[in-house]
Amino acid sequence: MVSTRHHPEEFPAPGTTPITSPNVARSSSPGPGSRKWVHTPSTAMTFWLVFSVPLVLWDAGYVLLRPHSMPGGKLHSPIWTPYALYGTVDYIYGWPAFNARNGFTAAQTVMNLVETAAYLFYLYVVYEYGTSTTLTGRASQKKGPKGLVWFLKEEKVVPGRIGAIALLVAYSASVMTVSKTLLYWLNEVYSGFENIGHNGLATLIPYWVIPNGLWIIFPSYNIYLLGLEILSALETATPRARYGRTKST
């Protein structure tokens, strides 16, 4: 017999029955009125990466090309001339560590290059997939010309999966930067300041503390911003459907 009882809600139209089983895959395409997740790059972080990435590559060139990049080497002048002074402030970059075959300098440089590759990926994604936002904060459908001014100053978002990947990559790289820089400092503390202890404060602060401190302060700020964004996304996330065969009843 056909039921004649009244239901509290009308039957949905054919093909629009909501998916309630956790074992059935939900559609990844957003429905009407839904908003796609976007990553919002920080202008401060973009400025920092554009400034710091070339410096890290310059530093890596000096370390990995030693002794040719050191004072007296054929590649030293004019590219790495400032290291003639810095190598006397921090022996880890000078002749004492090199002659002692200290591997810490090159090891941290290789890690620097891993971080730099991650940052370059992030910058590429922001430039290539970033979309300017309107006054309401929504992504603009109109694609304007991109350039350095747009990249550094324009408010933009990176939508979808590629934005999420870039966010995770930048967050992970920032954690690596802070951890490695703190290790660099702690290496001096627990070695009795073997490489920098010969300096007075008037030399140590401007030539060692401030330059190296920047790679703690700014990446830590980036971790804070990116971490807030990740946390916000997790708090508003819905349970992910499990894929595969459903268990027969």
Q: What tens digit of pLDDT does each residue of 27-70 get?
A: 333 444 446 788 999 999 999 999 999 999 999 999 999 999 99
* Residue range of the domain that includes 225: 38-235
- The reply to whether 5 falls in a domain is no
pLDDT of residue 143: 57
Question: What is the value of pTM for the model shown?
Answer: 0.78
- The reply to whether 24 falls in a domain is no
Task: Write the CA distances from 191 to 20, 161, 176, 201, integer angstroms.
Answer: 61, 45, 22, 18
- The reply to whether 2 falls in a domain is no
pLDDT of residue 188: 95
- The reply to whether 193 falls in a domain is yes
- The reply to whether 241 falls in a domain is no
Is the per-residue pLDDT at 170 higher than 60?
Answer: yes
- The reply to whether 196 falls in a domain is yes
Measured distance CA(118)–CA(104) in Å, rounded: 21
Class of residue 201 by CB neighbours under 10 A (exposed 0-12, middle 13-18, buried 19+): exposed
- Provide CB contacts within 8 A for 91, sequence distance 6+: 97, 194, 195, 196, 198
Residue bearing the bigger pLDDT, 33 or 238: 238
Class of residue 210 by CB neighbours under 10 A (exposed 0-12, middle 13-18, buried 19+): exposed
- The reply to whether 9 falls in a domain is no
Measured distance CA(172)–CA(226) in Å, rounded: 10
Q: What percent of the chain clears pLDDT 70, i.e. is strictly above it? A: 78
pLDDT of residue 235: 85
- The reply to whether 106 falls in a domain is yes
Average pLDDT taken over every residue of the chain: 83
Mean pLDDT, residues 159-178: 96
pLDDT of residue 245: 55
Count of domains observed in the chain = 1
Query: How confident is the model over 61-105, as pLDDT tens digits?
Result: 999 999 999 999 999 999 999 999 999 999 999 999 999 999 999
Amino acid identity at 59: D
Mean pLDDT, residues 163-179: 97
